[in-house]
Chains A and B, each alone.
Chain A
Amino acid sequence: MTVVSTTPDAAARTFTIVAELASPPSAVWQLWVDPRRLERWWGPPTWPATFTKHQPEPGGESRYYMTGPEGEKAHGWWRFVALDEPSSLEFEDGFGDAEGNPDAGMPTVTVRVALEEAAGGTRMTITSHFATDEQMHQLVEMGMAEGMSSAVEQMDGLLAPV
């Protein structure tokens, strides 16, 4: 596994994942900016993504949908904040409504990607910044993660056949 570390930071409302890849930053960059490449990894195999619009330039937007096993569609969108080929990009990622337009009522995540050359390959740092406290801050900082997971464990025990 090339994932080096994952770090949730409740105070900063971020989740950071660092990975080391064997190819140079220019190759990794293409996976982000070329929609046909992006489609091959963005959605899980059971929910493949189709990008109908992808404008990797500051202020540029993307539209995509992921198709589920029953043919159901989950729409999403990106809005590019900044790009610096081939070392960094930043975009907002959010839910779309049934027509694929940004759903203002749903939470957005700002994703920052840093690509650094490292020993002939790339060290990729992806930081997701959650827009609302409710999404993450409260979850971890207030100890809910532990509190709730133990509640779930207790429940699992209670639901197990006696």
Chain B
Amino acid sequence: MVARQVDPDRVFAALADPTRRDIVTRVLREPASVSTLAAGYAMSFAAVQKHVAVLERAALVTKQRRGREQLVRGEIDTVRAVGRLLDDYEELWRGRIGRMEELLAEDSRKDTP
């Protein structure tokens, strides 16, 4: 297995929640302050802030200071890495099986002079 920069357990846990997925999608499109984000959900500012903190620890979003506000922005590289994880796993095994096949074909050529 090849190690990745992204911590998959943390990222998957962060994305298991629909609100957090929604937040990531929104801030990927356009950075937003926590208060702007909070206005879009039927939950408290503190609850949204907590969601953002979970996403931040998973490197799915980062915060950037702009004037008096902090803007939350999406980290496209982390999102892409996650989207590829399962596909990669399938590709990994398809590649392995293809190589096994080549080895077996090599053997049978040796066996039949």
Chain A positions near chain B (C-beta within 8 angstroms):
1-3, 6, 8, 15, 17, 19, 21-23, 27-28, 31, 37, 40-42, 44, 47, 66, 68, 74, 76, 93-95, 106-107, 109, 124, 126, 128, 132-136, 138-140, 142, 144-145, 147-149, 151-152, 154-155, 158-159
Interface residues in B8-59 by Cβ distance below 8 A to A read 8-10, 12-13, 15-16, 18, 21, 24-25, 28-29
Besides the known contacts A21-B97, A133-B12, A147-B25, 11 further A-B residue pairs in the complex with CB atoms under 8 A apart: A15-B86, A40-B103, A74-B1, A128-B93, A132-B9, A135-B8, A142-B15, A147-B15, A148-B15, A148-B79, A155-B74
Q: List 20 A-B contacts (CB under 8 A).
A: A1-B94, A3-B97, A15-B86, A17-B94, A17-B97, A21-B97, A41-B99, A41-B103, A66-B2, A93-B1, A94-B1, A134-B9, A135-B9, A144-B16, A147-B21, A148-B79, A155-B74, A155-B79, A158-B28, A159-B76
Chain A residues within an 8 Å CB radius of B98:
1
What band does the interface of chain B fall in when counting residues whose beta carbon is under 8 Å from A?
35 or more
Closest-by-CB residue of B relative to A148 is: B83
**How many whole Å from B71's CB to the nearest CB in chain A?**
17
Chain A residues within an 8 Å CB radius of B90:
6, 15, 17
Question: Are A74's CB and B104's CB within 8 A?
Answer: no
Chain B residues within an 8 Å CB radius of A94:
1
Chain B positions near chain A (C-beta within 8 angstroms):
1-3, 8-10, 12-13, 15-16, 18, 21, 24-25, 28-29, 74, 76, 79-80, 82-83, 85-86, 89-90, 92-101, 103-105, 107-108
Chain B residues within an 8 Å CB radius of A152:
76, 79-80, 83
Given A40-B103, A134-B12, A138-B16, verify A151-B108 contact (CB < 8 Å): no
Question: Are B89's CB and A95's CB within 8 A?
Answer: no
**Distance of A124 Cα from B98 Cα, bound (Å):** 13
Chain B residues within an 8 Å CB radius of A2:
97, 101
Question: Are B1's CB and A144's CB within 8 A?
Answer: no
Contacting A139 at CB < 8 Å: which of B10, B12, B28, B29? B12
Chain B residues within an 8 Å CB radius of A22:
101, 104-105, 108
Question: Are B28's CB and A76's CB within 8 A?
Answer: no
Given A107-B8, A132-B9, A154-B29, verify A41-B80 contact (CB < 8 Å): no
In the A-B complex, list the 6 residue pairs whose CB atoms are closest, starting with the nearest.
Answer: A41-B99, A134-B9, A134-B12, A138-B16, A23-B104, A151-B25
